[in-house]
Amino acid sequence: MAPSDWELVLRTRKGDRDAFRELVERYQRRVASLAVGMLRNREDALDVVQETFTRAYQHLDRFKGDSGFYTWLYRIAFNLCVDQQRREGKLGELRPEQEETGEIGPPLAADGPPPDEPFQRARSAEIGRRVEQAIRELTPDHRAVILLREVEGLSYEEISRVLDCPKGTVMSRLHYARRQLQSRLRELL
């Protein structure tokens, strides 16, 4: 039976480097998933993954085990992603009136190839590109909520711990982000 995260954390604290390696290998893909979704840049995402685990190792004594180890990791990763975007000036915030009125601009036109057999792959790629674009246009907070829910499958409670905000805020951000994506991708989905 595989050791629990908490057991591995305790072993790491006692100097067992193999235990930490197991934690890294257990969660590197999940952390990378958040990083790549947030940053849309493989090199930056890899940097964030490495830095996330380095910080986790450095501050492992601060992890009290009262929440999941991966939510703690996600929190580190999310903060690093936001820092990274801030450094690069990519922190595209929505205007306040957009947030209030829910106006999110015109939907993208469905000008891709028809869904016939020869064009299926091209259409799929086109949908992927547009979904990617729509995700990128979300604010970091909305993007994080979408990624943590739709890709990582975290519960509202877990997301609220990762983002350090109330559960109600998670629900409203998720609702807003989904409506925005649906509006952008109306003709494709």
Residues that bind another protein (CB under 8 A): 17, 20-21, 24-25, 28-29, 32-33, 36-37, 40, 42, 45-46, 49-50, 53-54, 57-58, 127-128, 131-132, 135, 146-147, 149-151, 155-156, 171, 174-175, 178, 181-182, 185, 189
Would you say 97 or 186 has its CB closer to another protein?
Answer: 186
CA 139, CA 143: separation in Å to the nearest integer? 6
- Shortest Å, Cβ 17 to another protein: 7
Determine how many CB atoms are found less than 10 A away from the CB of residue 31: 25
List CB contacts of 86: < 8 A, sequence separation 6 or more: none
CA 139, CA 96: separation in Å to the nearest integer? 12
Would you say 59 or 87 has its CB closer to another protein?
Answer: 59
- Shortest Å, Cβ 15 to another protein: 9
Would you say 60 or 109 has its CB closer to another protein?
Answer: 60
Would you say 75 or 95 has its CB closer to another protein?
Answer: 75
Do residues 123 and 189 lie in contact, with contact meaning Cβ atoms separated by under 8 Å?
no
Would you say 94 or 131 has its CB closer to another protein?
Answer: 131
The string of DSSP letters for 14-41 reads TT-HHHHHHHHHHHHHHHHHHHHHHH--
List CB contacts of 39: < 8 A, sequence separation 6 or more: 45, 48, 81, 84, 85
CA 2, CA 4: separation in Å to the nearest integer? 6
- Shortest Å, Cβ 124 to another protein: 9
- Shortest Å, Cβ 28 to another protein: 5
CA 111, CA 94: separation in Å to the nearest integer? 26
- Shortest Å, Cβ 93 to another protein: 21
Would you say 95 or 156 has its CB closer to another protein?
Answer: 156
- Shortest Å, Cβ 139 to another protein: 16
